[in-house]
Chains A and B, each alone.
Chain A
């Protein structure tokens, strides 16, 4: 079945460092790919998404490119801030289903 594998955390970086959180997926057809963020004590928020190969999703300085050849959707940010500290979830939705399948989540901590 469909699945998402993402980089295990926790990840700790200094402010202004470059961030990469790896995510790969297994799915039949052409799934839509998502990154969600969960700030402490809050629910999930959609950070960005891509619906077809080579699409780049971007928001708040974060980017991820849908790579079908490597079945990947890595999250990147050029310069992280303390306020980016949160748990990040990579997710997919299959081309023929509504349900979203989540990765295990990566906790990110940014130190000043």
Chain B
């Protein structure tokens, strides 16, 4: 149980185009999902916290107009990289928070989406 999927697993696009990445919790509902970015050989940096039915909370330095997040249902959050440029090339990872009665919340991570902008 507690599986999180991402689609696509990798994408190559031209500079100036927009790319949408989906994050789904397959067997549980997640009120809260998170989007991270990982540069080669570096750690994960939290970009934003996505809350179902409300606006995402962005970390300092993350452009909310460039990285659009939508969390329209309890099992799906999307990240859209608008007008992508080569510097947006990275590995994007989402996580979904599972809340169990009487237990602490646990985050489960998706397998990541590798974006290459030419």
Q: What class of interface size applies to chain A in its complex with B? A: 10 to 19
Give the Cβ gap from B62 to chain A, nearest Cβ, in Å: 13
Knowing A99-B34, A105-B42 are in contact, say whether A43-B112 is a contact too (CB < 8 A): yes
Q: Which residue in chain B gives the minimum CB-CB distance to A45?
A: B109
CA A98 to CA B46, docked complex, whole Å: 11
Q: Which residues of A contact B108 (CB under 8 A)?
A: 46
Q: Quick check: is B77 within 8 A (CB to CB) of the other chain?
A: no
Knowing A43-B112, A44-B93, A98-B49 are in contact, say whether A107-B32 is a contact too (CB < 8 A): no
Q: Quick check: is A89 within 8 A (CB to CB) of the other chain?
A: yes
Q: Quick check: is A51 within 8 A (CB to CB) of the other chain?
A: yes
The 5 closest A-B pairs by CB, nearest first: A43-B111, A44-B109, A43-B112, A102-B43, A104-B43
Known: A89-B44, A107-B41. 10 other contacts (CB 8 A): A36-B109, A43-B6, A43-B110, A43-B112, A46-B106, A100-B46, A100-B95, A100-B107, A104-B42, A105-B43
Knowing A43-B110, A105-B43 are in contact, say whether A99-B104 is a contact too (CB < 8 A): no
Partner of A98, one of B32, B43, B110: B32
Q: Quick check: is A32 within 8 A (CB to CB) of the other chain?
A: yes
Q: Which residues of B contact A32 (CB under 8 A)?
A: 104
